[in-house]
A and B are shown apart, each in its own frame.
Chain A
Amino acid sequence: MMKQYPTRSWSLRLFCLPLMAVIGGSTACGDDGLGETGDDGLEQSSSQDGSGSADDDDTPGSGSGDEQSSEDGGSQDDDGDSSGGDGGFDPCSDDDADAPGPRMLRRLTAAEFEATIRDVFELDPGDWAGPTMPPDPAAANGFTNNAEQLKATESYVERLNATAATIAEQVVQPERLSELLPCSASGGDESCGEAYLDTVGRRLFRRPLSSAEKTRYLDLWDLATAGDKGLAGWVRHATIALIQSPHTINRSELGEGSGDSFELTGYEIATALAYGYSGRPPSEALLDRAASGELADADVRREVARDLVFGGRSKPGTEYRDVFMAFARQYLGIPRVGNLIKGDPEFDEAVRASMIREAELVVADVVFEGGGGAHELLAGRETFVDGVLSDYYGFGDVSGGDFERVERPAELGSGLMALGGLMASTATTDSTSPTQRGAFVRLKLLCSELERPAEVPELPDPKEFDTTRERYEYHVSEPECAACHKMLDPIGFSFEHIDAAGRFRMLENGHEIDASATILATSRGDVDVDGAAEMSDLLAELPETSYCLAAYLASYSFGLDHKAARCLVDGAASGFAEDGQSMIDYHLALTAAPHFVRRSR
């Protein structure tokens, strides 16, 4: 039996062309760049991410929602059109809501690995330049910490091995070795080696090594210490083995138990807390708390997480800021602005760099300084510009290289959706793309599911139309395009006063811009808006926006696809969406989710 939530756990489903479900891959209607620059967010259904296909019912986040979507996807909307979405929101079922997810090994990201090595061995960049493994692969939703994607591939293992050898070379330097292993000063026998495993090994594994595990390492002793190599010889090879160990490079979230339920160990919880809220491995002190068993208590976990975030200060510390900003950058896709090419010659390297910084400052100001949540992120009127952006945007009256807080003119919109970088990255080289902008909103802010049609006509030649809007409206008049585009393009039309290079325009080709639109299938039904500010205000008010943002942060926190993560945090997301919690409070609330301490088969 389904729970009846009038306003909870949104997941708008849009089935653009129901008969073409899971076709994907081809461009959406036209050739506007939708889905082709890698940033449209138009994701293909994935059989691995816990959503979309019928054969993954045991994956969190799938199940009833998908079943319902099949029924709803083709229902009639106001136009009597049998496709294009009906505004149906799927609550999590009783079985799915706050149900724990799967047991997992989460390979450390490059940043987590580097932080681990620097912490454990006290190596600064002058001692060790950093890991040389391949970059972390991006998942479909743009996050590079998805557990499914992070694997110990051939290249990874080979370069991990080389990295480990480089680190070991540093570790065996006498001064560092004596600091890490005081018993080495007196020559060091096998018991000194065991002490190394009990300290350094424990930090790397984030748990004590078992006797059997220690024996494996100590079995290297005779050969490694032969001749004049001594303790340092053993430490060198033991260090290489420890660093490349699957217990070091993977965050274990396997738990202990039997049957269908597995309780995460205290050490696993400590590891999740430490990496999740500081990006670093658990400290000795946190490992001690793990050993005591106290982390099974949700209040203790929240207190630990709060301490990792704030460290006794009123504002978040640097480590947490780095964690959250890594999430924000990937969620918004902002870094890629640095490589955008536009027909507008003023969209130069300096502008692109400043746009990236503007986005970072806006997010940081709302989340860290203002303690804001979804509403503030989307409806905030203030931004930050330096002299470059002030000149480029034409407001702010700022000069020089320092960024200053300024009020953005209302016609340029609000919050995240007014960021020049975001607007530029959802456009083509020379033209805005209402479709890309609409797709960004639907996918990243409303968590709609869009499925790509197969073969559709290209957009007509822009020279044949006075404005971009006319061009897209003509195109959408074609039936095979209308189903999807009527859900996307109107959202994009509301942003038409912001051009392809991210700045305000009053006219397009000398013609008035019409930024009015009817946004279909929201939880408030079909809503009329006029311009970017009204569009952003609508987004800020819609509960589905908060639920969606909650799903993405949970996704990043848990290393799962956002669709898979959505129901794992149903209770916490409800608090975020319904009570207007801050981003940080919501993030802390994830520690109380069953998934944080328990796993299912």
Chain B
Amino acid sequence: MGGGPTRQIHDMRRRQFLGTAGVGSTLTALAALAPQLAQAHPSSARRPSSATATAREMVRRAGMGVRHAAGLGVPKRLVLIPMLNGTPKGTFWPEGGGAWPMVSAPLEPFKSKIQFVQGLDQFETHDHIAIRTMFTGAKVLDYSLPLDMEVASVDQILGSHFMDADPTRRRSIHLSACPADHILRYKLQGRATFYFTETEAVDYFANPANAFDSYFPKTDGGDDSDLIELRKRVLAITEAELGDLRAVLGDSELELAKLGTHAASIDVLQAATDAGGGTCDGGPIPTVEAIRSRIGASEEKAYNQAHYSDLIDAQLDIIVRALACGLTRVATMQWNSADGNVGVPIAGGARPHHDTSHGNLVQFAECQRWYAEKVARLLTALDAEIDPLDPSGTATLLDNTCVVWMAECNPDHGSWDIPMLYAGGWGGALATGSTSKFDFEGATNRHFLKTLCNVAGVPKSASAQFGDDDLPELVGSRA
């Protein structure tokens, strides 16, 4: 467990950064902005029992997660969302028991289910490249270099852990909205990659229609034993051909690694084939169908910023569906890219996100508040669903989920004391309802990621990349 002395070096570095930020004059103006009432609705707006019954039926049809329902405890779920470019000072952390400030205000209705985590730095990484540190805990020096430690992000670690205990059809799902300024910049230089397997950045859907079709396919005769056998034998041919190539490849590490990636991908497909053809048959999702009607199946059109808000809504709705029906326990969202300039539709017109973070900080706070409203939208949806897998029958999906909203840096590019919170408490295993301040030297996102792993029961060896120390203050009474 970490803790201990003051962190003079930490504070000095932060002062150096803030001293050059030129934000002071803007803070006065920010203070004058009155927070608006949130649009979100807390758990009092839960859906009636018929919806829960529907969700249970979806789970039953999917044939997934039944072991939890059989009494294996609270099914933990995880949603990771980046908060890009941080927040202007004075706009995020609740102070003194008053109304929450401008950016976090939309989340205040979930006050009892939110924990602010204050004082953490991104581990030995600065600036926007910390998008690759946020969820991996890796020290990242460079956009284009691969992660040198072969570390996966926490979504992959927890996803694998959850699957080991209670298989789901997918280890994790990955959604995005305008994740780059053009599809030709998909995964560019690591600027548009936040989540990683041990070997590469995960792929992500920019078009909700394609995500929906892929994650919730129509059943296709998957119970036909001959068909399943044929599928396996087709995959076996691919595996054999990979073996042929491996044999002639010699010692080219790069090419062998590519074949290894391919072979591992076939393994995953094989496992899915073994699992059968279950789906989450909950019918169409209105927001998804709305965007489908405008852009069809085009991934390229999904990079059109004109649809940004609707893309986000649809992707968040897919996350809720996938978590509710037991398709997966882990989802990530990726909106915009680290230093992207997607126009955020605030009052007065869309503002380019990154440029605004270095320009008008009042407007930037409005941008970040807009994102908070989207987070609130997700929380509302999660809190409106009774968790069909929870033995208690009363907990909501949000209660059993941990939605992490974390920044990679602040507008001054400093990755110290990053804005961060989580919502939902894994059924009480994580503390909620207050602000935890960590002022010991070296308190970083690693401590938080380690906490998640420890609370989830991940073996120490599987979370060694996060170090040894966690944050006991964040452990809930039901851990």
Interface residues of A (CB under 8 A from B): 22-27, 31, 33, 35-39, 43-49, 102-105, 107, 129, 132, 134-140, 142, 144, 148-149, 151-159, 161-162, 213, 216-217, 219-220, 223-224, 226, 237, 240-241, 244-247, 250, 254, 329-330, 333, 335-336, 338-341, 428-430, 455, 457-458, 461, 601
- Taking the closest CB of chain A, its distance from the CB of B214, in whole angstroms, is 7
Q: Judge whether A44 and B188 touch: CB under 8 Å.
A: no
14 sample A-B contacts, Cβ–Cβ < 8 Å, listed by A number: A26-B127, A36-B339, A37-B339, A44-B142, A47-B146, A103-B249, A134-B299, A137-B187, A152-B258, A157-B266, A246-B238, A335-B184, A429-B355, A458-B22
Q: Is B14 an interface residue (CB 8 A)?
A: no
- Taking the closest CB of chain B, its distance from the CB of A568, in whole angstroms, is 16
Chain B, interface size category, equals 35 or more
Measured between alpha carbons, how far is A47 from B254 in the docked complex, in Å?
A: 12
Known contacts A38-B180, A103-B252; is A138 also within 8 Å of B188 by CB? yes
Measured between alpha carbons, how far is A187 from B21 in the docked complex, in Å?
A: 77
Q: Judge whether B299 and A135 touch: CB under 8 Å.
A: yes
Residues of chain A within 8 A (CB-CB) of B238 are 241, 244-246
Q: Judge whether B181 and A38 touch: CB under 8 Å.
A: yes
Q: Judge whether B184 and A38 touch: CB under 8 Å.
A: no
Known contacts A220-B230, A335-B182, A458-B22; is A22 also within 8 Å of B141 by CB? yes
Q: Is B126 an interface residue (CB 8 A)?
A: yes
A-B contacts counted at CB < 8 A amount to: 240
- Taking the closest CB of chain B, its distance from the CB of A23, in whole angstroms, is 7
Q: Is B305 an interface residue (CB 8 A)?
A: yes
- The chain B residue sitting closest to A103, CB to CB, is B252
Measured between alpha carbons, how far is A250 from B244 in the docked complex, in Å?
A: 13
- Taking the closest CB of chain A, its distance from the CB of B169, in whole angstroms, is 11
- Taking the closest CB of chain B, its distance from the CB of A262, in whole angstroms, is 9
- The chain B residue sitting closest to A132, CB to CB, is B210
Listed residue (A49, A103, A341) with the most chain B CB atoms within 10 angstroms of its CB = A341
Q: Judge whether B262 and A142 touch: CB under 8 Å.
A: no
Residues of chain A within 8 A (CB-CB) of B188 are 38, 137-138, 140, 142
Q: Which of A45, A137, A217 contacts B186 (CB 8 A)?
A: A137
Residues of chain B within 8 A (CB-CB) of A138 are 184-189
Measured between alpha carbons, how far is A38 from B226 in the docked complex, in Å?
A: 49
Residues of chain B within 8 A (CB-CB) of A38 are 180-181, 185, 188-189, 191-192, 337, 339-340
- Taking the closest CB of chain B, its distance from the CB of A355, in whole angstroms, is 14
Q: Is B200 an interface residue (CB 8 A)?
A: yes
Q: Judge whether A152 and B341 touch: CB under 8 Å.
A: no
- The chain B residue sitting closest to A339, CB to CB, is B181
Q: Judge whether B352 and A429 touch: CB under 8 Å.
A: yes
- Taking the closest CB of chain A, its distance from the CB of B162, in whole angstroms, is 17
Q: Judge whether B269 and A153 touch: CB under 8 Å.
A: no
Q: Judge whether B265 and A153 touch: CB under 8 Å.
A: yes
Residues of chain B within 8 A (CB-CB) of A329 are 184
- Taking the closest CB of chain B, its distance from the CB of A135, in whole angstroms, is 4
Q: Judge whether B234 and A339 touch: CB under 8 Å.
A: no
Measured between alpha carbons, how far is A246 from B146 in the docked complex, in Å?
A: 24
Q: Judge whether A36 and B354 touch: CB under 8 Å.
A: yes
Known contacts A26-B127, A105-B255, A458-B21; is A220 also within 8 Å of B145 by CB? no
Q: Judge whether B241 and A144 touch: CB under 8 Å.
A: no
Q: Judge whether A24 and B230 touch: CB under 8 Å.
A: no
Q: Which of A149, A159, A226, A247 contacts B187 (CB 8 A)?
A: A149
Q: Judge whether A144 and B184 touch: CB under 8 Å.
A: yes
A25-B129, A341-B341 are known; give 17 further A-B pairs, CB within 8 A.
A25-B125, A26-B126, A26-B413, A31-B413, A33-B354, A36-B128, A37-B340, A103-B255, A140-B144, A151-B262, A155-B203, A162-B217, A226-B226, A240-B234, A241-B238, A333-B184, A338-B182
Measured between alpha carbons, how far is A161 from B187 in the docked complex, in Å?
A: 22
Residues of chain A within 8 A (CB-CB) of B27 are none
- The chain A residue sitting closest to B342, CB to CB, is A339
Residues of chain B within 8 A (CB-CB) of A341 are 305, 341, 343, 350-352, 355
- The chain B residue sitting closest to A59, CB to CB, is B254
Question: Which B residues, 346 to 386, have Cβ-Cβ distances below 8 Å to chain A?
Answer: 350-352, 354-356, 358-359
Known contacts A148-B254, A152-B265, A157-B269; is A134 also within 8 Å of B354 by CB? no
Q: Judge whether A104 and B255 touch: CB under 8 Å.
A: yes
Q: Judge whether B272 and A158 touch: CB under 8 Å.
A: yes
- The chain B residue sitting closest to A262, CB to CB, is B250
Q: Which of B141, B181, B226, B351 contacts A24 (CB 8 A)?
A: B141
